[in-house]
Amino acid sequence: MNQLVYSILHVVSAFVLVGYTFSAFAAPTAERRGFHLMITGIASLVMLVAGVGLLHKGGFGFPVWAMVKVGCWLVLSALAGIAFRAPSFKSVLSLVTIALVTVAVYCAYMKPALG
């Protein structure tokens, strides 16, 4: 596939993942749990596959900034599930989500050497 297709898939799935994570923070009810976890899981998988495809097509290998982004992805993927199990922490989880997205976007655009 083209690098542009991977890039679009990566960014769109990131928006979907973050949007549905914030939606889970807003109303963590039992009726919505299955749907939200399904959507965030699919978006997380698409985001991972597209990100690895971008790394491969760009010829980056697996630098430190990509490892940081994978760490952010792992935590971000778990936050929707945590929101349904611990709804009292939604304000803290929201701040964690904002921080993770900020770090991931910084690493994507600046590609720091980090070491």
Rounded to whole angstroms, the Cα distance separating 115 from 108 reads: 16
| pLDDT at site 67 | 93
**pTM of the predicted protein model:** 0.91
CB 16 within 8 A of CB 39: yes
Q: What is the pLDDT of residues 14-52, one digit of tens each?
A: 999 999 999 999 988 889 999 999 999 999 999 999 999
| Domain locations along the chain | 3-110
- The per-residue pLDDT of the chain, averaged, comes to 93
Instruction: For residues 50-78, give the mean pLDDT.
Output: 93
3-class SS letters over 67-91 = HHHHHHHHHHHHHHHHHHHCHHHHH
